[in-house]
Amino acid sequence: MDKPCISIHQVGKQFATRSQTIEALHNVDLDIRPNEFVTFVGASGCGKSTLLRILAGLETHSSGELLLHDQPIDGPGVDRAMVFQHYSLYPWLTVMQNIKFCRQLKVISDGVHSQADVETASGRADALLNLMGLAPFADAYPSQLSGGMQQRVAIARALMPRPDILLMDEPFGALDAQTREVMHDLIRHVHRLEKTTIVFVTHDVEEAIYLGSRIVLMAPRPGRIDTLYNVPLPEARHQDMKLESAFIELKRQILARIRETSGVQTDLDQLAKLTQGASV
């Protein structure tokens, strides 16, 4: 078995607010292998985004150890890229300029750039434009694009420096159902082609199963890993798999476990009474 590229050992995170200390993560242990596609689900507040932000180096952890290729994570790095739910594109730059933006920052900060550098970057940007189906929109501005297309630009921009790890925090949460399906097949294709390790946080269990090879179910108060599930689907996926019994059974199990761990129940008797009252 491959050596893990990310090792999370006994990681804890507390947030101190004025009135209390919140244990956002408690003794989290997980190894992620190179080129894995791991999806995280769980009830609201179970620490999914906090863990992702710690992996990105945008947040510090309070205890334990996080290693990336055996080195401690102590801040952001070009080896990791993050894609958020909101597209975070620069509205005054075109699609192509947005994709090349980080590369240009690097050139400015390094103070060196050869003609070969520029050509390599242009070739990479062109390849990503094509991969994302954005070639006809290279000169468009973000405001001229749909939400799905803007998120494709954000993904292309994240992939530009060839990160080892792509961290995605509900990247398709704001898209309509049809666009999400298209994005699911696109991101699986990107994963196969680019061989990037993907860590993907979502509220949507169906999305977690369709995309992931492994699902990490987290539970809240304190935020912790509850269950790991291997996804019993082949690498090559298609939308009809969502109707197969293995898929539906896994979805049922995970949804039931999220309900159990969230401690939130819908009181159907109470709802029925309220509805009766309303109809009088």
> Under the rule (CB under 6 A), what is the footprint of ligand ATP?
15, 17, 22, 24, 42, 44-50, 203, 223
Q: State the nearest-atom distance from the C-beta of 16 to ligand ATP, in Å.
A: 8
Taking the least distance from each CB to ligand ATP, the nearer of 45 and 77 is: 45
235 CB-near residues (< 8 Å, 6+ apart): 192, 213
Do the Cβ atoms of 167 and 199 come closer than 8 Å?
yes
The rounded distance, in Å, linking the Cα atoms of 213 and 234 is: 9
Pick between residue 34 and residue 64 the one whose CB is nearest to ligand ATP.
64
Distance CA 14, CA 230 (A): 29
Residues composing the chain: 280
Closest approach, Cβ 256 to ligand ATP, in A, equals 18
C-beta of 106 vs 203, nearer to ligand ATP: 203
Nearest to 2 by CA among 50, 45, 34: 34
Q: Minimum distance between the CB of residue 61 and ligand ATP, rounded to whole angstroms?
A: 12
Least spacing, CB of residue 30 vs ligand ATP, in Å: 15
Smaller CB separation from ligand ATP, 34 or 45 = 45
Residue 4: both structure tokens together? 């893990």
Residue carrying the six token digits 């958020």: 84
Q: Which is nearer to ligand ATP, 48 or 103 (CB)?
A: 48
Nearest-angstrom CA–CA distance, 279 and 176: 33
Q: Please count the CA atoms within 13 angstroms of the CA of 188 that sit on its side-chain side.
A: 20
> Would you say 10 or 60 has its CB closer to ligand ATP?
60
Q: Minimum Å distance from CB 252 to ligand ATP?
A: 21
217 and 227 in contact (C-beta within 8 Å)? yes
Q: What is the nearest approach in angstroms of ligand ATP to the Cβ of residue 155? A: 20
